[in-house]
Chain A
C-alpha cells in the first residue's frame, strides 16, 4: 500500500511568533521547522512499513506551503519518507481551514493513498481539525488523536482517549488517521539520511496540476475572516523565583503557601 504523510512547516517553537497587522496572518518569516507532531506521523508510517503486517510500497510526504516548506519535506524524507510532494501556489496564500483542507484533499487525491497520516495538531494553530476535513473530502473514514495503531487483516485497530476513557476503533482502509505525540518516540535521522534527503524525488505541484478550483482557496475563497485582533484581558503577572539556593527557594515557597493558608 501507499502511505501519504501530511507535514507542515511551522515557526520554530523557540522563536517569538507575531501576527502581521496588515494581513492579519501569522508572520511566517524567521526560523522554521517541521511541525513536531508530524514527526510522530512519519514514525508511525515507518513502523507500519517495517512491521510487515501489510506490505508498504511507498511512504510519501506531502505539504502545502511557500517555497521554504521544501525544508520540512527534506526533513520528512530524512526521517524515512521515500519521496515528497510540494503543493505551492500564490493563489493558496491566506487559506483558512476549510480552503486548506480542500486543497490538501485535492493533492492527496492525485496520489491515491491507502492511508493518510498526519500529526493531530500543528504548533502554529490549526488544531485537531485538518484530518477530519481532508477525510470528508476524500470520502474516507477518519479518526483523530490516535495513540496506538495495529494492522490486522488489512484493517487498522486504533486506540485513543475520548470523553469517557479509552476507545478502541476498527477502521477500514483507505483512511485518514491523525496521531498524538504519545504514539511513538520518533527516531533521529542518520547523517547519511540527512545528506541523501535532497536526492530523493520531490514533485512540485501548482493548484491547476491537481484540479484545485481557484475560487475555493486563498483569502478570497476562505469562509472565515479575521475581523480584529485584541490583547487578552490582562492578568496580573505572578511572582517568579529563580532557584539559586534551594533551601532559600523552599523557604520562600513555604512562606507563600503559609500566607495563603494552604499548609
Chain B
C-alpha cells in the first residue's frame, strides 16, 4: 500500500497540534493522488473518540500506541518504524516543529530512508512524491525525489493547511517494544511557561525585537513604540533564549505564528526560523543596520540604519501625529 503515515502531536490535555493536523490533511490529499491511505500515529492514552476525530482532517486509520510516552522523539521513532514496516507505508510526513524533525531524522537512520526537511510543498510526479525545499536563504527551490521507499518529509512550520472533511477514522491499537536507548531520556518537566503571558497573536501591530537591540534594556524602546502605535511586542528565539524577553512573545519555528497588519522588525536579521512565524504579515517594516540582512529580502519597507537612533524618534513622531 502506497500510504503516508503522519504523527499527531498532542499536549498533556490531549489537544492535537495544528501543524500535525495540517500534515494529516496534506497526506490525505497526496495519498489520494498516489492511491494510498493517510495513516496517523498517536502515542499515549488518547480516547477512541479523540483518535477517530482525526478523520475530520483526513485520517483514514489511526495507529494508537497507548504505552508509548508523548513528548520525546525516540520512543515515537520505535512506534512509527514498526507501523511503517508492518503496514508498508511508502512515506512519513511531518508538520513543522522540533519533534517532527527529531522523529523524522530517527526514522531516516532506523529505516535507511531518504529525508528532506524544511519542505514547503509536496507534489506528485509519476505516482511518487517530490518534496520542494527552499535552500540558500530561500534563493532557490530544490525538487527532491526519493530513490527508495520509505521517504521521509519534514515540513516547514505552517507549510500544510488544515482541511476539514467531517470524516471519522478507524482506530487500531499497536503494541510497540521500545529500543533500549529510547528509554534513557526521561521527561522531568514538559511545557514550562516562563515569563508573563502576553497574547501577541491577536495584535494588529507587532513590534518585534531581535539581537540588534543589543541588550535586554533595548526592548524598552520597542515597548514605547508599540505603545505609541497601539500594538504589542514580540521577540526572536535568540533573544528569548538569551533571557531578554519572555517565551510567550517568541515568534518562529518553535514559537508562535502571527500575521498582523504591521510587523515592525527592529534589529531582526530575518533568519528562516523567524521568517516562518511572521512572513504572512500584511506589511513588514524592517530596521536593521546590516544592509545584507535577509529580512530586507521580504520586507515591504526596509530601513538601513541604527535602530537606537531611529526608533525613539519614530515613537515621538507617531505620538505627535496621533496627538495632533
Q: Do A and B bind each other?
A: yes
Given A134-B109, A163-B254; 5 other pairs, CB 8 A cutoff: A132-B106, A132-B109, A161-B98, A166-B189, A243-B306
Once the chains bind, are B77 and A181 in contact (CB under 8 Å)? no
Shortest distance in angstroms between A165's beta carbon and chain B's nearest beta carbon? Answer: 4
Tell me, rounded to whole Å, the shortest Cβ–Cβ distance linking A247 to chain B.
Answer: 7
Contact with A along B98-133 (1 / 0, CB 8 A): 110110111011101111111000000100001000
Chain A binding surface, main DSSP class = mixed
- A–B pairs, 14, beta carbons within 8 Å: A98-B112, A132-B101, A133-B105, A133-B109, A135-B74, A136-B74, A144-B98, A161-B254, A161-B255, A162-B190, A175-B184, A182-B241, A224-B116, A249-B303
Whether A222 and B147, one on each chain, are in contact in the complex, defined by CB atoms closer than 8 angstroms, is yes
Given the interface contacts A129-B104, A243-B303, does A163 sit within 8 Å of B9 by beta carbon? Answer: yes
**Any A CB within 8 A of the CB of B73:** yes
Question: Which single member of A143, A182, A241 contacts B242 (CB below 8 Å)?
Answer: A182
In whole angstroms, how far apart are the Cα atoms of A102 and B313 in the complex? 55
Residues of chain B with a CB closer than 8 A to A254's CB: 314, 317-318, 321
Binds A, one of B27-35, B54-62, B292-300: B292-300
- A226–B255 Cα distance when bound, in Å, is 30
Q: Does B136 contact A (CB under 8 A)?
A: yes
In the complex, A88 Cα to B252 Cα: how many Å? 36
Closest Cβ of chain B to A127, distance in Å, is 6
Which residues of B164-216 are within 8 A (CB) of A?
179-182, 184-194, 205
A110 at the interface (CB under 8 A from B): no
**Which of the residues A133, A144, A165, A224 comes within 8 Å of B144, measured between beta carbons?**
A224
Chain A residues with CB under 8 Å of B184's CB are 140-141, 171-172, 175
CA distance A193 to B306 in the complex (A): 36
Q: Are A165 and B247 in contact (CB under 8 A)?
A: yes
> Chain A nearest CB: distance from B5 CB in Å?
17
Contact of A98 among B113, B144, B283 (CB under 8 A): B113
Q: By the criterion CB–CB under 8 Å, are A132 and B105 in contact?
A: yes
Whether the pair B305, A161 counts as a contact (CB closer than 8 A) is no
The chain A residue with its CB closest to the CB of B315 is A250
Contact residues in B for A216 (Cβ distance below 8 Å): 112
Q: Are B296 and A240 in contact (CB under 8 A)?
A: yes
> 8 Å CB contacts to B: which residues of A211-241?
216, 222-232, 235, 238-241
On whether the beta carbons of A225 and B192 are closer than 8 Å, the reply is no
Q: Which residues of B are found within 8 Å of A195, using beta-carbon distances?
A: none
Q: A241-B302, A243-B306 are in contact. Are A169 and B147 (CB under 8 A)?
A: no
The residue that B151 contacts in the complex, of A125, A143, A223, A227, with Cβ under 8 A, is: A223
| Complex contact B185–A166 (CB within 8 A) | no
Measured CB to CB, the closest approach of chain A to B124, in angstroms, equals 13
Interface residues, chain A, with chain B CB atoms under 8 Å away: 14, 17-19, 24, 26, 96-98, 101-102, 105, 125, 127-137, 139-145, 147, 157, 160-172, 175, 180-182, 216, 222-232, 235, 238-243, 246-247, 249-251, 253-254, 256-258, 260, 262-263
B141 & A169 in contact (Cβ 8 Å cutoff): no
CB of B36 within 8 Å of the partner chain: no
Tell me the complex Cα distance, A157–B188, Å: 9
Which listed residue, B144, B185, B304, B314, touches A241 by the CB 8 Å rule?
A: B304
Q: Which residues in A have their C-beta under 8 angstroms from that of B112?
A: 98, 216, 223
Given contacts A139-B180, A223-B151, contact A19 B135 (CB under 8 A): yes
CB pair A170 B140 closer than 8 Å: no
Given A144-B98, A224-B147, A228-B143: A167 and B109 interface contact (C-beta under 8 Å): no
The residue in chain B whose Cβ has the minimal distance to the Cβ of A253 is B314
| Cβ–Cβ contact A167 & B241, under 8 A | no
The residues of A that contact B97 with a CB separation of less than 8 Å are 163
Q: Are A167 and B192 in contact (CB under 8 A)?
A: yes
* B138 located at the interface, meaning its Cβ lies under 8 Å from any Cβ of chain A in the complex: yes
Chain B residue contacts of A249, Cβ below 8 A: 303, 305, 310
Known: A139-B181, A162-B254, A224-B147. A263 touches B321 (CB 8 A): yes
Q: Given A180-B241, A232-B141, A260-B283, does the pair A172, B185 have CB atoms closer than 8 Å?
A: yes
The answer to whether B71 and A167 have CB atoms under 8 Å apart is yes
